[in-house]
Amino acid sequence: MLVLATFLVALAGLSEAAPQSAHKVREAVHTPRDWIKLGAAPAEHVIPLRIALPQSNFDALERHLYEISDPEHARYGQHLSKEEVEELVAPHPHSLNAVNEWLAEHGIPESDCTRSPAQDWVTVRIPVSKAEAILDTKFHMWKHVVDDDVVLRTTSYSLPEHMHEHIEFVQPTTMFSRIKNHRTTFRWSEDQAISTESDGSTISLDYGEVDTSCNKTITLSCLKQLYNAVGYKASAKHGNEIGLTGYLEQNANLHDLQLFYQDQRPEAVNSTLKVTLINGGVNSQNTSEIGAEANLDVQFAAGQAYPAPATFWSTGGSPPYKADANTPSDSNEPYTEWLDYVLAQWKLPQTISTSYGDDEQTVPEAYAKRACAGFAQLGARGVSLMFSSGDAGVGDGDSDPTTQTCFTNDGRNVTRFIPSFPASCPYVTTVGGTYLVPEVAVPFSAGGFSNYFSRPHYQDFAVEEYLRKLPKGTYKGLYNPKGRAFPDVSAQGVNFRIFYKGRAGLIDGTSASSPAFAGIVSLLNDARLSHGLPPLGFLNPLLYSRGVHGFNDITKGNNPGCGTEGFNATVGWDPVTGLGTPNFGKLKEIVLSHYW
């Protein structure tokens, strides 16, 4: 009996000492294209690990989002509160407890954890050596062969098998995405095309006249003429606001903004811009640190929306950067950093524009879907989110459209069209580009079909109609016809007159299209709020139904890339210009219809 008792005690001890389950790979990626491994990461380097817990009731949040965004539904416009959204995405208590216990087992107390408002994200800052131990992996330094960016990453990591149901993913680990402002092109005012002087001649459109100077230079006045907003007077009395996001140490210069107002919006001179810094964001007003991208976004979006107050968020800690192996970048997840901040706020601008993104395939799918779910939370709270579609046609954003190889990075090296993210997220409104008067699709306007997100139901009719008209077999195997299609809409994207470092210049890109469209949306929100109606919130279900009649259909142009001519603009929706460009007058009538 004594021997048996001793055996049982020993067995119990072994059971207590044994792990609950062995490690199992949670995420793995192929060696990323254009990255080379430099060597082992420094063990003492501190890395911020962000742990994503499953959002227990996201399906219900999505259902709410579609109901309150559908103009045919009785709940249209009944947006959710901050607390209601957080309750729907909060992780299950079992997951919270399991993650807390797992971290405690590795000597990481609750006091060292930072949590998102809904507690669906946990962030811990730990040395690489500890991260390697808890993730059963090895971190290395990686350098991008084109830009020499250096990051600290791994190509796979593992978790105890019993933790897989409680942790969706951990980043930055396998993320080799490099968020970029879309490929804007800037030219100084010495270019003769900058002239905004009119000779008095106009171009006749169905809804009015557009000055011929708008064929060479786009100003606020041109956008009003092109998009039928001449004469509309916005108000500052009803709480309408607009927001712009900035990453990669892009600063909006306040002096340049005043010069822009003097040039194009005199009544806005001396108005203020609220700048909010997130996660080490910067707001340097030094001439050498001004960002043309940030100036573009702020000048045109805030200029159109005036007198609505404008906010510029500068989010830091995001980019891989030129560094050596001892000072790597260890974070490039700006969307979640920004989302953590804005979702914690009680009051948000009703309209927000972002002009940044990357190739969808460079973003781990789990991360892309989680960031997209964050955008859905904002939509449920009544925020309209615009993202530029990108500037590479149907190709990747790292090379000239005429020379793109467009290979997949899943180990197969298959030629495919390369969709953009976050443009491919179904919970945002993606904006492509046009140019000239009358408008045609600009060749760089990115568009296509997601490989991560399935087509949302609000797109079914429009996209199926487009695919039905596409000649059979066109680009077969190069795109996913069942994927979320983009862009949704478009706006001018060439020859925008901005001020940069005290001088006027011209800038191109869908980075211009997104704030241009956002400015129109802000005016629509102004109109609704002035009539006692709620803001528009998530736009797409409205745009693809009643809203389709409020767009100028763009039927000429294409978006080449990957050695092809890309897709063509055509009657109805197309993956170059979406539904078309906005007609503010018609859209205002639609959003103010009496039966709403």
Active site residues: 293, 297, 511
Positive or negative: CA dihedral 307, 77, 356, 572: negative
- End-to-end alpha carbon distance in the chain: 82
Radius of gyration of the chain (CA): 25
Beta pairing partners, 385 = 352
Residue of 381, 384, 373, 372 lying closest to 241 (CA atoms): 384
Q: How many whole angstroms separate alpha carbon 238 and alpha carbon 280?
A: 32
DSSP character for 281?
-
**461: phi then psi, degrees, rounded to nearest 5:** -60, -50
Q: Which residues of 119-139 are buried (b: 16+ CB within 10 A; e: fewer)?
A: bbbbbbebebebbbebbbbeb
Q: How many whole angstroms separate alpha carbon 455 and alpha carbon 471?
A: 20
DSSP β-ladder status, 185-188 and 503-508:
antiparallel
The answer to whether 374 and 316 are in contact (CB under 8 A) is no
DSSP β-ladder status, 384-388 and 180-181:
unpaired
Residue of 66, 80, 63, 75 lying closest to 458 (CA atoms): 66
Q: How many whole angstroms separate alpha carbon 480 and alpha carbon 482?
A: 5
DSSP character for 391?
S
Q: Cβ neighbours of residue 587 under 8 Å, at least 6 residues apart?
A: 520, 524, 547, 550, 551
Tokens representing 78?
């009944």
DSSP character for 458?
G
Q: How many whole angstroms separate alpha carbon 495 and alpha carbon 374?
A: 33
Strand segments (E) across 360-439: 384-388, 420-421, 429-435
Q: Cβ neighbours of residue 83 under 8 Å, at least 6 residues apart?
A: none
Q: How many whole angstroms separate alpha carbon 56 and alpha carbon 301?
A: 36
Beta pairing partners, 50 = 123, 171
DSSP β-ladder status, 448-454 and 483-486:
antiparallel
Tokens representing 349?
């601008």
Q: Angle between the 82-89 and 334-343 helix axes, to the nearest 10 degrees?
A: 130
Stated as kind and residue range, the H or E segment containing 171 is strand 169-171
Beta pairing partners, 421 = 358
